[in-house]
Structures are given as structure tokens and as C-alpha cells.
């Protein structure tokens, strides 16, 4: 069985990656506090290098490779943010990066991957297609596979966002975090161990495999996710499921309408560019108040790599309040 990461692993990861990442700021909004009925502090990983928290895990994984493992470069499959993060991490180490990207990934995320110096390999928009194309790339190049989320180094790196949040706001009672593959959510679950702080994983109702997996006690398949939160369309990883399950993490669901409304709130009230995936915790806070059992809440904005044309169209089509 794979060894699960510990808080010490998160601290070691933070020491490893700290020279290369931003210590992202926190934000509050009186309006949002009134809407939620609690004090909410957002950690802005949308302002992180690469526009998302993903650099934390990718860089930890790349810097942890020995010379032989790193020699031929690194490869992964990604709808965007992990691919961009791995491209940045590979550039820091001076090795090539090969990113398998589904054809329906947002143009802004594809452009970022190329801009950071990686090679893009297209694939169809299914998990099977991603994995098959990645296997071809690894066989052809000899590159080392760095998983998007189902990996101890990735989880440890992602969890450093929560370590920083605790330092910035030490009296939190809950952390709300998006869940897709589960790297960030499980990293946060490790970070809070022994602290008395609970983790709520927020997920689109239209991509609810984490909710179904934790409810049933075993990993459930992703079923054709149709959500604007493109970063959360990935299936829950097995290491991530194990951590979330052992940590008794609760999943709160958010509708598409709530996700779009929350994204708009960030634009209008906090003047922050937040991608829909990063707005899911706020959407769930507003829509699932039964999961909120705290007065002081932290929420991680996972990213800000927005397809503006698609988002503006979603705002236009959203029902009026």
C-alpha cells in the first residue's frame, strides 16, 4: 500500500518549494460574510504562479526527482492548470515537459502551457483517451509521469496552501476547498490533522463523484460531467479518496447556477478574477448552509485561469436574481 503523506511531508514540501512560489494573499468581503452568515477569509491561489495552486504540487514532485528520473523530462495529462504548473516546474529544473491536453480544454489554459515552454499533445476529452495518449508519450520520450493529483508529492505540495493559510489566519474553524481529482482537498485534510479544524470539500453537483465515493465507501466513476468548473471534471484519485475518507471530510455540492453566481460575486465584490472551479467553495457555502458549522471559515480560491468569452456568455445566460 502507498504511504500516505503526513504533516511533516507538507512542511518538507513547503521548505523545498518556498523559494519559487508566491505566498498568496488573503481577502475578505463584508458583503460575502453577510450572505454566508460567517466570517470568511479567502486565500487567493488565483494569484499564484501559473494562476493556480497547482504549482505547489508540481514543483514539489519535480524537485523531488533524482537526476536519472528527471533526465528525459516529465509528462502528464491535464485540462490546463496542472499542465501549466508542470511546465513552470520543468523550466525551473531545466528539463522538458510534455502535456497531454483534451481538445475541449479552455484556450486560455492551452495557451499558458505553451507559453511556459511545454509541448502539447492533443487527445479526446475522455479519461481513457488521456491515459492512452500519455502512455504513448512516455514510451516515446522516456519522460517521468507526474500525476495531476493521485500522488504523495502532489498532495504534500498542494497542502502547503493550507499551512500558509493557518499562519495568515490562525483561528480558523473550517476550511472549504474545491474537489476534483482531490489533490488540494486531501492536502488540506492532512494539514489540519490534530488541529480540530474540519475540511469541507466543495464539488459541482454535475460532477459529484467525490460525494458519491465518500458516501458509498469506495471510489465511484465520473459520469460525463457537465459543469462550467472545468478544473473539477477529473475523477477522484485513489490516494486522495483514502485520505479524504480517513479524515471524514464532508462534501458539499453546488449547482451550476450557484457556481456562476459565486464567480460573479468575486468579480463584483472582491475585484478578483476567479475561474469557476475556484468559486465552487463560495457557491457551496451559499447553497449548502447545513455543512457550515463554524463562524470563522477559510476558503481556498484554487485558480484564476478564466476563459473570459465562455464566462461572459455564462453570465449573460444566467437567470436574473
pLDDT per residue over 168-227, tens digit each? 999 999 999 999 999 999 999 999 999 999 999 999 999 999 999 999 999 999 888 889
Count structural domains, the chain: 2
Q: Are residues 136 and 268 in the same domain?
A: no
101 located within any domain: yes
Q: Which of 87, 117, 145 is the last residue of a domain?
A: 145
For residue 140 the three cell numbers come to 516515446
Please measure the distance between the N-terminal and C-terminal CA atoms of the chain and give it in whole angstroms.
50
Q: How confident is the model at residue 320 (pLDDT cuts 50, 70, 90)?
A: low
Q: Are residues 122 and 168 in the same domain?
A: no
2 located within any domain: no
pLDDT tops 80 at residue 79:
no
Q: Are residues 238 and 280 in the same domain?
A: yes
Q: Are residues 271 and 214 in the same domain?
A: yes
Q: Which of 145, 173, 204 is the last residue of a domain?
A: 145
Q: Are residues 75 and 109 in the same domain?
A: yes
Strands (E) located in the chain: 26-27, 39-44, 74-77, 97-102, 119-123, 144-145, 174-178, 198-204, 250-254, 296-301
Q: Are residues 186 and 289 in the same domain?
A: yes
Q: Are residues 225 and 308 in the same domain?
A: yes
Q: Are residues 27 and 16 in the same domain?
A: yes
- pLDDT for the residue 2: 75
- pLDDT for the residue 291: 77
Cβ contact 61:154 at 8 Å: yes
Four-CA torsion 98, 103, 105, 107, nearest 10 degrees: 90
pLDDT per residue over 1-49, tens digit each? 678 999 999 999 999 999 999 999 999 999 999 999 999 999 999 999 9
Distance CA 114, CA 191 (A): 33
For residue 112 the three cell numbers come to 499558458
Question: To the nearest whole percent, how much of the chain has pLDDT over 70?
Answer: 99
1 located within any domain: no
CATH code, 249: 3.40.50.1100
123 located within any domain: yes
pLDDT tops 70 at residue 112:
yes
Q: Are residues 291 and 164 in the same domain?
A: yes
218 located within any domain: yes
Q: Which of 78, 112, 145 is the last residue of a domain?
A: 145
Angle at 165 between CA 87 and CA 238, to 5 degrees: 55
Q: Are residues 66 and 124 in the same domain?
A: yes
pLDDT per residue over 227-242, tens digit each? 999 889 889 999 999 9
Across the beta sheet with 39-44, the strand order is: 26-27, 39-44, 296-301, 174-178, 198-204, 250-254
Question: Which domain range does residue 105 map to?
Answer: 55-145
Q: Are residues 264 and 304 in the same domain?
A: yes
pLDDT tops 70 at residue 117:
yes
Q: How confident is the model at residue 108 (pLDDT cuts 50, 70, 90)?
A: confident
pLDDT per residue over 272-290, tens digit each? 999 999 999 999 999 987 7
pLDDT tops 70 at residue 67:
yes
pTM of the model: 0.93
pLDDT per residue over 149-161, tens digit each? 999 999 999 999 9
The SS3 assignment for 44 reads: strand
26 located within any domain: yes
219 located within any domain: yes
Q: Are residues 200 and 130 in the same domain?
A: no
- pLDDT for the residue 127: 77
Q: Which residue in 277, 248, 59, 223 sits closest to 153, CA to CA? A: 59
Q: How confident is the model at residue 142 (pLDDT cuts 50, 70, 90)?
A: very high
Amino acid at each position: 500500500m502507498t504511504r500516505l503523506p503526513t504533516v511533516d511531508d507538507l512542511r518538507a514540501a513547503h521548505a523545498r518549494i518556498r523559494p519559487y512560489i508566491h505566498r498568496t494573499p488573503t481577502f475578505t468581503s463584508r458583503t460575502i460574510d453577510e450572505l454566508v452568515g460567517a466570517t470568511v477569509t479567502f486565500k487567493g491561489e488565483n494569484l499564484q504562479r501559473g494562476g493556480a495552486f497547482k504549482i505547489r504540487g508540481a514543483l514539489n514532485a519535480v524537485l523531488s526527482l533524482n537526476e536519472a528520473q528527471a533526465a528525459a523530462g516529465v509528462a502528464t495529462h491535464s485540462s490546463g492548470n496542472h499542465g501549466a504548473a508542470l511546465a513552470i516546474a520543468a523550466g525551473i529544473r531545466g528539463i522538458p515537459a510534455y502535456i497531454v491536453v483534451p481538445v475541449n480544454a479552455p484556450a486560455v489554459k492551452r495557451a499558458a502551457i505553451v507559453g511556459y515552454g511545454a509541448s502539447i499533445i492533443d487527445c479526446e476529452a475522455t479519461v481513457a483517451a488521456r491515459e492512452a495518449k500519455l502512455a504513448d508519450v512516455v514510451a516515446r520520450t522516456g519522460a517521468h509521469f507526474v500525476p495531476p493529483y493521485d500522488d504523495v508529492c502532489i498532495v504534500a505540495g498542494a497542502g502547503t496552501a493550507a499551512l500558509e493559510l493557518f499562519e495568515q489566519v490562525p483561528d480558523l474553524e473550517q476550511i472549504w476547498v474545491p474537489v476534483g481529482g482531490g489533490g488540494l482537498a486531501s492536502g488540506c485534510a492532512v494539514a489540519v490533522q490534530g488541529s480540530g479544524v474540519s475540511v469541507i470539500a466543495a464539488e459541482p453537483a454535475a460532477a459529484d463523484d467525490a460525494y458519491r465515493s465518500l458516501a458509498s465507501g469506495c471510489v465511484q466513476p465520473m459520469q460525463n460531467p457537465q459543469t462550467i468548473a472545468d478544473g473539477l471534471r477529473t475523477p477522484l484519485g485513489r490516494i486522495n479518496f483514502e485520505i479524504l475518507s480517513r479524515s471524514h471530510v464532508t462534501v458539499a455540492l453546488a449547482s451550476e447556477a450557484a457556481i456562476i453566481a459565486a464567480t460573479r460575486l468575486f468579480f463584483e465584490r472582491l475585484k478578483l478574477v476567479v475561474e469557476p472551479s475556484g468559486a465552487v467553495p463560495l457557491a457551496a457555502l451559499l447553497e449548502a448552509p447545513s455543512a457550515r458549522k463554524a463562524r470563522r471559515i477559510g476558503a481556498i480560491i484554487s485558480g484564476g485561469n478564466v476563459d473570459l468569452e465562455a464566462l461572459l456568455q455564462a453570465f449573460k445566460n444566467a437567470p436574473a436574481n
